[in-house]
Amino acid sequence: MRARIVWGILAMMLAASLTSGCATGSGTESGPGVLRRLTGWFKKEKPDKPPEVMAEQGIRELKRKKYDDAIDTFGKLKDRYPYSEQALLAQIKVADAYFYKKKYDEALQAYKEFEKLHPTNKAVPYAVFRQGMCYYRQRSTIDRDQTFTHKAMAEFRRLIKKYPESEYVARAEKYVAQCRKDLAEHEFYVGEFYFRTKRYSSALDRFQHLVQEYPEYPRQAQAKSYIAQCQNYIANPDTRPKSFVSRFTTIFDADW
């Protein structure tokens, strides 16, 4: 009965449109075009996919390295089903997608937001580990600023201290060791630079810090030798090697 009423209305509207078209001449929409437009008004909207299906779709897109598609899918999942169990998964997976895209700043913020919103969730240790990895992947070579190395190490240590039973602790410990190695290498590199350019006080500070802070560093003997030489040159300026290089190195005295 309902279908007959609908099609009756359509027939009347179509007839009216065709009559109007004939009266106004060319340039009006044809009968079939009008019918398509009118029947479009009665089409049902495509229902949303269930959250489980959307989550599976997003995970498939991640595995296929379609990161933008995954971000879009998980974003829609969060918006449409914000209180579902899959919405929690989507928050983590959006961060993962950014991470795999090497968009580390975006990934870092997403992991931080997850930790802030769900501090007791079992996935928090993973989020903390990934925060460390976001910093770690951005660290520089030993001749550059080591800010990201310090930040990465801080996050890995936070994970180890706060979640000692986490499955990510062993990996975090390995990354802490690598960060310490990089920082020690940086201290040695800068210390040698200052020594070569006859900035013995600056070199002494670097080598002493290296020996005290990184006792596991394998070049301890060489660092201690530099310390002895720096102390001798500072105490006995006349014994310093003759060179004009130090006159032109003040520009490099920045606190690296």
Residue 6 · residue 42 · CB < 8 Å: yes
pLDDT single digits (tens) 60-96: 999 999 999 999 999 999 999 999 999 999 999 999 9
Q: Which pLDDT does position 41 carry in this prediction?
A: 45
Q: Which long-range contacts (CB under 8 A, 24 or more apart) does 212-221 make?
A: 213/184, 213/187, 214/180, 214/183, 214/184, 214/187, 216/180, 217/181, 217/184, 217/188, 219/188
Q: Which pLDDT does position 48 carry in this prediction?
A: 77
Q: What's the predicted TM-score (pTM) here? A: 0.76
pLDDT single digits (tens) 189-226: 999 999 999 999 999 999 999 999 999 999 999 999 99
Q: What is the DSSP string of 167-189?
A: TTHHHHHHHHHHHHHHHHHHHHH
Could you tell me which of 96, 86, 113, 111 has the C-alpha nearest to residue 61? 96
Q: Which pLDDT does position 132 carry in this prediction?
A: 98
Per residue of the chain (256 residues), what is the pLDDT tens digit? 544 544 454 445 444 444 444 444 444 455 555 445 544 544 444 557 899 999 999 999 999 999 999 999 999 999 999 999 999 999 999 999 999 999 999 999 999 999 999 999 999 999 999 999 999 999 999 999 999 999 999 999 999 999 999 999 999 999 999 999 999 999 999 999 999 999 999 999 999 999 999 999 999 999 999 999 999 999 999 988 876 544 445 444 555 5
Domain boundaries, the chain: 49-103
Could you tell me which of 131, 149, 154 has the C-alpha nearest to residue 139? 149
